[in-house]
Chain A
Amino acid sequence: MTVPTTPGTNQPRLRLHVPEPRHRPGDPVDFAPLQVSVPGAQPRPDETCEAAATHPLCLDLVRVLGDDDLAHGPWDPRLDAATLVRMLRLMALTRAFDARMLRAQRQGKTSFYMKSTGEEATSVATALALAGDDMVFPSYRQQGLFIARGYPLVEMVNQIFSNRADKLKGRQLPIMYSARAQSVFSISGNLATQLPQAVGWAMASAIKGDSRIASTFVGEGSSAEGDFHSALTFAAVYNAPVVFNLVNNQWAISSFSGFAGAERTTFAARAIGYGIAGLRVDGNDPLAVYAAVRWAADRARANAGPTLIEHFTYRVEGHSTSDDPGQYRSAAEGGAWPLGDPINRLMRHLIAIGAWDAERHAALDKDVDEEVRAAVRAAEANGTLGHGLHHPFRTMFEDVFETLPWHLQEQSEQALHERHVKWPDWSDDADVGEAR
């Protein structure tokens, strides 16, 4: 075999490697190379173990629910049936919310939406495994977290519709919620910036001798940002009480996980380099997600340090309503995903243990759909995007600073003036309406 050489030398010609995903549109789908682990076969070290004891798990995949729909092995969190039903309901509610909001976007009631189909366990089971007042710094696909923490659906829809009741005053792109009362940080939209912030919050909690920990979410794609490295370095250096949830849903818009380094090793394996605990978990197995997060939260609470959890899952839908995944990946991937669907898996488990049946599940689906419909109806009364019922103009200039400096005062007067030129009879306060 001859190796191509650079002209005039006997050196091999250098080649650039550009990653390519397994399946493009129209390709037959084969996920066999993923090497899915055997449920229940992964050891569960003590929460306060040396970080190195978790490192074999970074290359494994923690799973609890087996093909027999039963829970297996030491990671089984042994939750009672009532808790499992609650988890199921929250995931079903999240999926129903997503379906209704996609429809609302298609109907022109808002500009944008992002579904979390197939990833509901990563947010809902995580929320249930954390204490209710642990501070969470989410990325943009954790609607299940807000729902599980009891953030009112109508507040979420108000925000998505940017209407006059939107708590964020119509300033943020839809789904960039903020829920301080539920201990959830404001969502940025700039990627991975929340990671060092979560570490800082955790450090502050430790400085103050508090007992609350921080947790944060990032996608596998944005784990390539420098913020990820900064955050894990700080977390390791200060042994910060923080749980990092890296949701590996395989796709960052159209870029597969290989563009974030997945061809080389797992994302959980990055924990090894920082010397912190790491777990790699089946993100479509709600019991495994719950167990892993609970393990990491207990570890952080015991001053045993941070944990990086890779939630291995699949983004069933497009990145957002502005995305058409049919342009870049095989449409068969979602259905062929070897780890199944988290809601179906938990439903089957509950049926297998005799705590659920098809009739009750049908009633649940109807119930969550009605809950979402009611929230949307209530929110629509406050207006939808572009239909007039927004916050008053002057609010555009508020909250840039704590108080309004002269230059913003002048600019706000200009904005009001322009409005009066366009609509001479208009009154700023009329926009507020009765909702506020």
Chain B
Amino acid sequence: MTAPERRLSMIEAINDALAVMMERDPAVVVMGEDVGYFGGVFRATAGLQARFGKTRVFDTPISECGIIGVAVGMGAYGLRPVPEIQFADYIYPGLDQLVSEAARLRYRSAGEFIAPITVRSPFGGGIFGGQTHSQSPEALFTHVAGLKTVVPSTPHDAKGLLIAAIEDNDPVIFFEPKRLYNGPFNGHYDEPAVPWSRHPDSVVPEGHYRIELGKARVVREGEAVTVLAYGTMVHVAREVAERRGIDAEVIDLRTLVPLDIATIEASVAKTGRCMVLHEATRTGGFGAELAALVQERCFYALEAPVERVTGFDTPYPHSLEWAYFPGPVRIGEAFARLTAA
């Protein structure tokens, strides 16, 4: 029995994952600002309220503290809430409920209560969102004991990872790279946009499937240099490597916590060179953690210093968005340094 081949955008794949889980598990509820009748500002929840009813898919007050706090309480009751935070930039009012409550509830109650919640939130730049609609705050969450952090880069992965996140009994921060919602993005913003329908990873099976949290994916095999990336930057790294003719091995981490350290170690042992790449600000970013891990665990395989390619330590600017974005020039020069060393 083979499912018919079906191509979806990332936003459609996320919608599909939510529908599959709501169908399978009556404990799953979806809530957030504008997610109900309207279906979400990015359409991730389109049609769900009509299909599953107002008590399972509903709008909320504009209060991220309330949204996350209420989700924690629903989880304690036995529901499996999937709250949406409309933009990752808006998540901070809910931070205490995530960091002090959801993340530690299992620990502090020795397992009496858990917070099986999946917080979905669009993140990252590339859509002229300015400093309040472009941030990548993943490192704030990877730093917290008790939270899992997931970032998909394709429609196929988005669905399988979101299903695994919803089924997970720990709180999961699920950051969706909004620049990838409607098509892959290779970093060349001055070239025509490409839809997902021409990308092989837009084939999304019907029904239920999982991509286990904590498993990276080798997107492109190579011998010369390892690139550790996630979200939008997976596509950009791959494009730069191919245009420059660099035999790079591009690894899509997919889950930042727990991290697939085995895949990273095997790749760096093979290539001896490593670039860590993210769109978020540089200082204290997740790239610093990756660089430290590679240094600790692969030092004697390294033939060059680990290259860290990131956004700058500024707020995400509006008019100068592409000057901020770690694009082909920044990545290309890092490749050049790595391969020359």
Chain A interface (Cβ < 8 Å from any Cβ of B):
135, 137, 167-169, 171-172, 176, 178-180, 185-186, 188, 190, 193, 195-208, 214, 226-227, 229-231, 233-234, 237, 399-402, 405-407
Contact = CB atoms under 8 A, between A and B. Distances in A.
A350 to B, nearest CB: 37
A146 to B, nearest CB: 14
Most chain A CB inside 10 Å of its own CB: which residue of B72, B107, B111, B146? B107
Interface in B43-91: 55-56, 60-61, 63, 65-66, 68-79, 81
B101 A171 contact: no
A401 B170 contact: yes
B197 interface: no
Contact of A400 (B29, B76, B146): B146
B145 A400 contact: yes
Interface in B134-151: 145-146, 148
Contacts of B55: 206-207
Most chain A CB inside 10 Å of its own CB: which residue of B56, B78, B109, B259? B109
A185 B109 CA distance: 9
B69 A188 contact: no
Contacts of A176: 108
Contacts of B306: none
B72 A200 contact: yes
Contact of B170 (A201, A234, A402): A402
Contact of B72 (A172, A197, A399): A197
Nearest to B75: A200
Contacts of B168: 402
Given A226-B65, A226-B93, A237-B61, A200 B74 contact: yes
Given A405-B258, A406-B258, A196 B29 contact: no
B204 interface: no
Given A188-B108, A197-B73, A401-B106, 9 more contacts: A137-B73, A178-B112, A197-B70, A199-B70, A203-B73, A204-B73, A400-B107, A402-B114, A402-B169
Interface in B112-148: 112-114, 145-146, 148
Contacts of B110: 167-169, 171, 178, 399
A204 B69 contact: no
Nearest to A198: B73
B93 A193 contact: no
Contact of B65 (A135, A172, A186, A227): A227
A214 to B, nearest CB: 7
A58 to B, nearest CB: 22
Given A168-B109, A193-B100, A237-B61, A201 B69 contact: no
A138 to B, nearest CB: 13
A62 B53 CA distance: 41
B317 interface: no
B96 interface: yes
A190 B81 CA distance: 22
Contacts of B77: 135, 200-201, 204-205, 208
Nearest to A230: B66
Nearest to B116: A402
A399 B169 CA distance: 11
A-B pairs with the 9 shortest C-beta distances?
A200-B73, A196-B69, A230-B66, A200-B70, A204-B77, A197-B73, A405-B258, A186-B109, A201-B73
Contacts of B237: none
Nearest to B257: A405
B305 interface: no
A401 B148 contact: yes
A180 B77 CA distance: 11
B97 interface: yes
13 contacts: A135-B77, A167-B112, A185-B76, A185-B113, A196-B72, A200-B69, A200-B76, A203-B70, A206-B55, A230-B69, A233-B61, A402-B168, A405-B258
Contacts of A202: 73
A65 to B, nearest CB: 35
B105 interface: yes
B336 to A, nearest CB: 33
Interface in B144-174: 145-146, 148, 168-170
A221 to B, nearest CB: 16
A203 B74 CA distance: 7
Contacts of B61: 230, 233-234, 237
A277 B65 CA distance: 23
B298 interface: no
A399 B110 CA distance: 6
B276 to A, nearest CB: 17
B173 to A, nearest CB: 14
Given A201-B76, A204-B77, A196 B112 contact: no
Given A188-B100, A201-B77, A203-B74, A196 B66 contact: yes
B261 interface: yes
Contacts of B100: 188, 190, 193
A200 B148 CA distance: 22
B40 interface: no
Nearest to A196: B69
Nearest to B59: A237
B222 interface: no
A176 B70 CA distance: 21
A396 B110 CA distance: 10
Contacts of B114: 402
Contact of B79 (A172, A204, A405): A204
B73 A214 contact: yes
Most chain B CB inside 10 Å of its own CB: which residue of A198, A237, A399, A405? A399
